[in-house]
Amino acid sequence: MKIDRQLGLLMQGTEYGDDNLERSMRSELRALLLEKRPLRVYCGYDPTSADLHLGHTISMRKLRQFQDLGHEVTFLVGNYTALVGDPSDKNKARPLLNEQQVSENAETYAAQAFRILDSEKTRVRYNGEWLAGLTLVELIGLAQKFTVQQFMARDNFSRRLERSEPIYLHETLYALMQGYDAAAMEADVQVGGTDQLFNIVVAGRKLQQSLGQKPQVGVVLGILPGTDGKSRMSKTTGNHIPIATTAEDMYGKVMSIPDVAMSSYWRLTTRYTPEQVREVERRLESAELHPRDAKSELAGEITAIFWGTESARKAAGAFRKVFQLGVTPDDLRQVVVKKGELLVDVILECNFAGSRGEARRLIRQGGVRVDGEYILDERETFAWESEVVLQVGKRRFARLLVNG
C-alpha cells in the first residue's frame, strides 16, 4: 500500500480539535512511514472494570490497522495507572481501586482484545514494569517538566475549580505516569481517544524530548457515541454494546443506534477503508441506499468482526424475525431452571442482567415477559409447569426448560 493510502487509513477517525496540531501529527506520521521500518505503536488500557464494550475497541481497531501494515504493536495494561484512576474524562475524582481489583480485571482484558488484535503479533506489557521502580526523586524530576497552570487549564479540572469541587493531588500524577509509559517504551506512536489528548500530545511527547528521545506521534481518535447517539458509550449510562455478549444482542444493539450516529460507527468500528466509508455516505446522501439497509450492513460488519460472518448472518435473520415479522426466533438458547426459583435469578442465569438490582429494575419497568405475558412483580417465582420463552427487553430470548 502506498504511503498516502497508509496515511489516510491510519488517520481515519482522528480528531484533534486544532487544525495546526492535526497537520503536524499527519506530517510527522508520514515522515515515520517513509522510514520504511516497523514502528513501535502502543495503546494503554486501564483495567478499571472487568468487561470491555465497543467503545473500548476503537483504539484496538486502529492498532490492528498498524499490525496489518507490519508495525510492532504493544497492548499495554495500565495496572499501575489504574491504581490512580484517569481523570481525563471525569468531572470528579475516580474511586481508587486496590491491586487485587486491578489484577482481577486485567485477566479478561487481553482475551477480549484478541477478538480484534492478532495475538501472535501483539506484545502484552504492564506499566508496573517501570512505574513500580520509580523513586520519589525521579518522580519529582518528571514533575519539574510541567506547571500547575498546564493541568488547571484542562477542561475537566477547570470546571471543577469553577464549582469549588476538590481536585486531588494524586490526579495530576496520572498524566506523568502515562507520559512516562511512552518514554519507557521509546514509542513512535501512541493511540488513544480525544480524552487522552493532553496525556499523549503534551505529557508523553514532552517527557520523551526531555529524555533525549524523538517525540511520539499521537493518533488521537474520536469518541464513539452510545446507542442513544448522544453521550459517549458507557456502561454506567447503559448505552453501551458489550463485547462479552451474543451475536444476536450485538447486532440488535447496533440496529438501535440513531441514523445520525452511523457515520461515527462506520469510521471508528469497522474494517472499511476511507474510500469505502465515503462511498457508503455518498449512496446515503443520493438516496441510493436506504438508512435501514445501511444500518443493517453496519450491524453485520461489526457483528462479523467479533463473531464471524456466519454468526452475523444468523443474527441478522433473527433480528428480522423478531422486529420485522414480530415472531420469536426458532433457534433459542435453552436454559434449565428449577420450579420455585426466583425469576430474578433466572434472568441472571441467562446473562440477561449484570446484577440482581438490574434484573429487578427490568421487571419493575415492564421489560420482562414469559410466554408473552408481562411480569411486573420482582418477587415472582418460577411456577410454570412446562417449557416457556423468556424475553428480556426487545432482543434477548431464552427457552426455559423446567426441571422439577
Cell triple for residue 251? 447486532
Task: Over range 316-330, report the average pLDDT.
Answer: 70
Residue from 221, 301, 194 nearest 13 by CA: 221
- Does the structure show a pLDDT above 60 at 91? no
The amino acid sitting at 67 is Q
Task: Over range 344-359, report the average pLDDT.
Answer: 91
pLDDT category at 357 given cuts 50, 70, 90 is very high
Predicted confidence at residue 62, as pLDDT, reads: 95
Task: Over range 40-57, report the average pLDDT.
Answer: 84
Task: Over range 231-237, report the average pLDDT.
Answer: 81
DSSP state of 394: T
Predicted confidence at residue 312, as pLDDT, reads: 93
The CATH architecture to which 3-221 belongs is 3-Layer(aba) Sandwich (3.40)
Top-confidence residue, 34 or 52: 34
Could you tell me which CATH number the domain at 334-403 has? 3.10.290.10
Identify the bridge partners of residue 392 per DSSP, sorted by sequence position: 368, 396
Cβ burial of 114 (10 Å; 0-12, 13-18, 19+) is: middle
Predicted confidence at residue 277, as pLDDT, reads: 93
Residue from 196, 246, 245, 165 nearest 43 by CA: 196
Predicted confidence at residue 318, as pLDDT, reads: 80
Percent of the chain predicted with pLDDT > 90: 45
Top-confidence residue, 349 or 333: 349
Top-confidence residue, 45 or 82: 45
Query: Which long-range contacts does 293-297 make (Cβ < 8 Å, 24+ apart)?
Result: 294/262, 295/254, 295/255, 295/257, 295/259, 295/262, 296/255
DSSP state of 88: T
Average pLDDT, the chain: 86
For every residue of 251-275, DSSP letters joined together read HHHHHTS-GGGHHHHHHHHS---HH
Predicted confidence at residue 313, as pLDDT, reads: 92
In 167-309, DSSP assigns E strands to: 189-193, 217-221
For 62, phi then psi, to 5°, come to -65, -40
Task: Over range 323-333, report the average pLDDT.
Answer: 63
- Does the structure show a pLDDT above 80 at 322? no
Domain with CATH 3.40.50.620 in the chain: 3-221
Domain with CATH 1.10.240.10 in the chain: 247-324
- Does the structure show a pLDDT above 90 at 390? no
28-47 core/surface letters (b: 16 or more CB in 10 A; e: else): bbbebbeeeeebbbbbbbbb
Cell triple for residue 330? 426458532
Top-confidence residue, 22 or 93: 22
Find out if CATH 1.10.240.10 is the number for domain 247-324: yes
- Does the structure show a pLDDT above 80 at 254? yes
Predicted confidence at residue 93, as pLDDT, reads: 46
Pairing state of beta strands 396-403 and 334-338? parallel
Task: Over range 270-298, report the average pLDDT.
Answer: 92
Percent of the chain predicted with pLDDT > 70: 92
pLDDT one-digit tens code per residue, 391-404: 898 778 888 887 75
- Does the structure show a pLDDT above 60 at 342? yes
Q: Highest mean pLDDT: which of 31-35, 313-317, 360-364?
A: 31-35
pLDDT one-digit tens code per residue, 110-123: 777 888 899 999 99
Task: Over range 278-288, report the average pLDDT.
Answer: 93
Give the span between the Cα atoms of 272 and 94, in whole angstroms. Answer: 35
Domain with CATH 3.10.290.10 in the chain: 334-403
Predicted confidence at residue 4, as pLDDT, reads: 94
Lowest mean pLDDT across 99-113, 252-266, 274-288: 99-113
pLDDT one-digit tens code per residue, 121-173: 999 999 999 998 999 999 898 888 888 887 777 767 778 888 888 888 877 78
